């Protein structure tokens, strides 16, 4: 029963989609955003289930062993990115926000 109810808990990607829907600023636009997010996940989740049935147990075990390695690598990349070391595409330098009262200051001539 606990596993069944655990399936109803949203994952991090759902929380990100909800934030994206909220950022649209309109109820209808946010609803459409979430509908398309849901429609996009259905084929991927269905494909993952069917692909899992065709994989051998040894391949599934190798994938399960590789997951923690990829999680650590992604975590290290996030830490490296946050350090702002100036490495292109990995750890860009901190950018400065320039605030101006002139509404035309962002326009180019």
Please provide the DSSP assignment of 18-75 as one string. Answer: HHHHHHT-SHHHHHHHHHHHHHHHHHHHHHHHHHHHHS-HHHHHHHHHHHHHHHHHHH
Half-sphere exposure of 55 (CA within 13 A, CB side): 14
Give percent of the chain above pLDDT 90. 31
Neighbouring CB atoms inside 10 A of 78's CB total: 9
Q: How many CB atoms lie within 10 A of CB 21?
A: 20
- pLDDT band of 105, cuts 50, 70, 90: low
What does the radius of gyration of the chain's CA atoms come to, in whole angstroms? 21
CA 77 to chain centre: 14
- pLDDT digit string, tens, across residues 50-94: 888 888 889 889 988 999 999 999 999 888 888 888 888 888 776
pLDDT at residue 104 in the model: 67
Answer whether residue 43 shows pLDDT above 60: yes
């Amino acid at each position: 029963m606990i596993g069944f109810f655990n399936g109803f808990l949203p994952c991090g990607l759902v929380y990100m989609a909800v934030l994206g829907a909220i950022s649209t600023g309109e109820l209808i636009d946010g609803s459409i955003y979430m509908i398309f997010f849901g429609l996009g996940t259905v084929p991927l989740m269905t494909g993952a289930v069917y692909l899992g049935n065709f994989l051998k147990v040894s391949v599934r075990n190798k994938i399960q062993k590789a997951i923690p390695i990829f999680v650590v690598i992604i975590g290290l990349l996030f830490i490296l990115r946050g350090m702002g070391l100036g490495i292109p595409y990995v750890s860009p330098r901190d950018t400065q926000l320039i605030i101006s009262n002139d509404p035309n200051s962002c326009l180019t001539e």
